[in-house]
Every structure is written in C-alpha cells, then in structure tokens.
C-alpha cells in the first residue's frame, strides 16, 4: 500500500508549513477522529461478540448502568433512537439477565431500568478495556495536554440537545 494518505503512514500535513493560514479544512484532524473512534469501538465489539451482542446492546447497557433506574423515555432521549429500535435490544438484555425492569413507585406505568450484577460486570469489563486505550493515549501527554483533549471533546458536543419536534415519537 505505497503512499497512502492516512494517519498510520506519513502525515500528509507538514507541521512546518504554518505560514499561509487559509489552509482549508483540517483533514488530518478529521482522519484522526475517524481512525481513533474506529479503534476505540473496535475494542468493545470484539468482547461483545463473545456474548452475541452488538454495539446497540453496549450503548443501552452502558447508559442503564450509568443511570440506574432510568426511565425508558429518558434512555430514548439519550440514545436518540426510536422505542422500536430500543425494544429489540432491550428485550434481549432483559431476557438474558443483564437488565432488570422495576415499576416506578410514584408512577406505575414506568418500567425503570437497572443493570443486574451480571450487567454491571459486563459494562465494567468493556469500560476497562476502552479506558485502557484512553489511558495509554494520555500517557504521553502532560496535564495541559490531557486537559486539552478532554476540553476539546467536550466542546465538540452540541450544547443544546437539538430540539425534538414536540410530538415526535413519544406521542
């Protein structure tokens, strides 16, 4: 694969060519994000396959573990998927004992979601593997660099949760 222009090989951008500012889009950074995220989720994909799960299961289980007792509606808002899409993977996670549903105390229509011990353990395993990659990536950086990386990602996120049309799906 001679002379392919992506991150793993020679950097396409000469760091010394700083003079002419109107250099257009930062292709290097765009590619960095693409490859970094791919490898990042790839870690989890491998482990999930051993359970017969996919990324969708990971996301659901993750946010349930991180938000114990979350309502279905709120989970849908975080994931930004439809309840039909959620339903399929959630059912599997419940059937296989990774998530538990309990009726809401004040509102018994709710089916509040909790990770079981088994579910928590899986989330933990997955997070540890992903965190390992993140720690190694941060290892070469000083405090300012690490803070910068975190702040950069934080700033990339839309401030205002893009408004849902008032009667979207949760109608």
Partner DNA sequence: AATTTATGTCAGCCATATTGACTTATTCTG
Partner DNA sequence: CAGAATAAGTCAATATGGCTGACATAAATT
Report the interface residues with DNA, using CB under 7 A. Answer: 52-57, 59, 71-73, 80-85, 87-91, 101, 104, 106-112, 169-171
Report if residue 170 touches a copy of itself, rule: CB under 8 A: no
Report if residue 45 touches a copy of itself, rule: CB under 8 A: no
Among 124, 164, 168, 170, binds a copy of itself (CB under 8 A): 124
In this structure, what are the phi and psi dihedrals at residue 112, rounded to the nearest 5 degrees?
-65, 140
Cβ proximity to DNA: between 27 and 51 the closer is 51
Element of type H or E holding 126:
helix 117-139
CA distances from 63 to 24, 66, 79, 123, 135 (A): 37, 5, 9, 9, 21
Q: Which of 14, 26, 108, 113 is nearest to 66 (CA)?
A: 113
Cβ proximity to DNA: between 25 and 52 the closer is 52
> Which of DNA, a copy of itself, none interacts with 109 (beta carbon under 5 to 8 A by kind)?
DNA
In this structure, what are the phi and psi dihedrals at residue 157, rounded to the nearest 5 degrees?
-80, 135
Q: Is 97 left (phi over 0), alpha (psi -120 to 50) or beta?
A: left
* Contact set with a copy of itself (CB under 8 A): 1, 4-8, 12, 24-40, 59, 63, 66-67, 70, 74, 77-78, 80, 124, 127-128, 130-131, 133-142, 144-159, 161
């Amino acid at each position: 694969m001679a002379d392919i222009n992506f991150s793993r090989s020679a950097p396409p951008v000469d760091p010394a060519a700083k003079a002419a500012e109107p250099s257009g889009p930062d292709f290097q950074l765009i590619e960095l994000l693409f490859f970094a995220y791919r490898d990042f989720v790839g870690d989890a994909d491998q482990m999930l396959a051993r359970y017969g799960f996919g990324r969708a299961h990971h996301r659901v289980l993750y946010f349930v573990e991180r938000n114990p007792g979350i309502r279905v509606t709120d989970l849908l808002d975080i994931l930004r998927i439809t309840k039909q899409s959620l339903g399929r993977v959630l059912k599997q996670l419940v059937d296989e004992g990774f998530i538990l549903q309990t009726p809401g105390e004040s509102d018994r229509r709710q089916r509040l979601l909790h990770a079981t011990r088994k579910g928590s353990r899986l989330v933990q395993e997955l997070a540890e593997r992903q965190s390992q990659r993140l720690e190694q990536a941060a290892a070469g950086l000083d405090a300012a660099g690490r803070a910068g990386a975190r702040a950069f990602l934080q700033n990339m996120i839309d401030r205002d949760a893009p408004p849902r049309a008032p009667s979207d799906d949760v109608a």
